Amino acid sequence: MPMLDSLSKMPGEMSSDTRRQLLNAVTDLFLLDQDPSEESQEHYGEIANQSLPKLNATDRQAYAEKVAAVPTLPHQVAVTLAGDQDGEVARLVLKLSPVLTDADLAAIAVSQSQYHLVAIAERAKLSEGLTDILVERGNRDVLHTVSSNDGAAFSDKGFERLLERGGQDISISSALAARADLKPDRAARVMRIVEQLNDNGGLWSKPSDEAASLARQARQQRLEVKLLLADLAAGSRTVDEIIAMLADEDRAYHLAQVVAQAAEIGTEQALRVLMQRDVTGIAVTCRSLNVTTATFETVLNMRGRRLYFAPKSTKDDLRGYATLDNATAERTMRFLKMRTKLR
């Protein structure tokens, strides 16, 4: 792209306002290309990285909000924005960017502010390695956020450390108790803590009786999903009606469990395709299971709430799903399962 090539050699004496206008114009141009070449990405990255240090915090934040979720954003631009010392600039990029790797996020998590850590803790998916860092370095807000995130995986060490640092905070322990993915031994431990706090009076904000109620509700939901999975296996309920119910109730982890059983894939894989920004994986999976367009719309609405998609994006994805044929979806699923087994 010759225009980007020439713009990447911008004179250093440009004013901040001129750079802002130029960066916005070039960004609009760059975003028009859904599949930019490596050369185009490289030139765009040079322009952005030359411009960003010369912009004020307000302009950097406006730019970050515009490109936070863009999957073709050059890696170094995403890293620069995510590591900005102004947490408002970094927030959405840390939360939404599909470009950032675990290594990028870990480097930021060990060096930046608690505000940065909260944004990382809000990501739709978090590995055990990242939650280990968040649990060790995070303040109360970070611990509460990561405890509430159903997409956050905890190592045994990280879970123990989380209980050690935040277990006596009723807001954190109740958030843990309400998680959909707790293993029985972890659920029992957390429930005992909540009940003790209920007897003794927990620290900080949430009334302990409310926390105990949330814990019981979470336990009931975990039992409910076991019954739903049994019904699905027995054929007494359809996958379509179960998915519609769980998506409408915003129960992403339980929805992933149902999709995993129906599609014969792992729960982790099902949760990944459900919550990644690219809709292709969950669309193919649902179409292979004969999920209706109406039910898939409830899935898209749930994704929209969690991943902050614009309504237009949800409508476009729904139209795409309506045109996706079952044969293509089934072939794609067979290929993906085969590739997973070979790894």
Least confident of 2-16, 252-266, 310-324: 2-16
Amino acid 287: pLDDT: 95
Amino acid 209: pLDDT: 61
Q: What is the mean pLDDT of residues 82-93?
A: 96
User: Where in the chain are the domains?
Assistant: 1-100, 238-342
**What does the alpha-carbon distance between residue 162 and residue 130 come to, in Å, rounded to a whole number?**
13
Least confident of 255-259, 260-264, 332-336: 332-336
* Matching residue, tokens 């998680």: 179
φ, ψ at 179 (rounded to 5°): -65, 145
Amino acid 84: pLDDT: 96
| Cβ atoms of 131 and 153 closer than 8 Å | yes
Q: Is the pLDDT of residue 338 over 70?
A: no
* Matching residue, tokens 């296996």: 233
The tokens of 215 are what? 């814990």
| Cβ atoms of 286 and 243 closer than 8 Å | yes
Amino acid 9: pLDDT: 47
Q: What is the mean pLDDT of residues 124-136?
A: 95
pLDDT in tens, 191-206: 788 777 766 655 444 5
pLDDT in tens, 18-45: 778 889 899 999 998 888 999 999 999 9
Amino acid 6: pLDDT: 43
| Cβ atoms of 198 and 174 closer than 8 Å | no
Confidence bin at 342 (pLDDT 50/70/90): very low
β-pair partners for 152:
126
pLDDT in tens, 164-192: 998 888 888 888 888 888 888 888 888 78
The DSSP result for 23-90, as a single string, is HHHHHHHHHH-SS--HHHHHHHHHHHHHHGGGS-HHHHHHHHHHHTT-TTS-HHHHHHHHT-SSHHHH
**What does the alpha-carbon distance between residue 292 and residue 321 come to, in Å, rounded to a whole number?**
9
pLDDT in tens, 283-318: 999 999 999 999 999 999 999 988 878 788 889 999
CA dist 247 → 178, 239, 242, 243, 273 (Å)? 17, 12, 9, 6, 14
CA nearest 298: which of 257, 237, 248, 242?
A: 248
Q: Which run of H or of E encompasses 203? A: none
The dihedral through the CA atoms of 340, 93, 259, 290 has a sign that is negative
Q: Which run of H or of E encompasses 10? A: none
CA dist 96 → 51, 82, 99, 155 (Å)? 22, 10, 9, 23
**What does the alpha-carbon distance between residue 90 and residue 110 come to, in Å, rounded to a whole number?**
15
Q: Is the pLDDT of residue 79 over 80?
A: yes
- pTM given for the model: 0.72
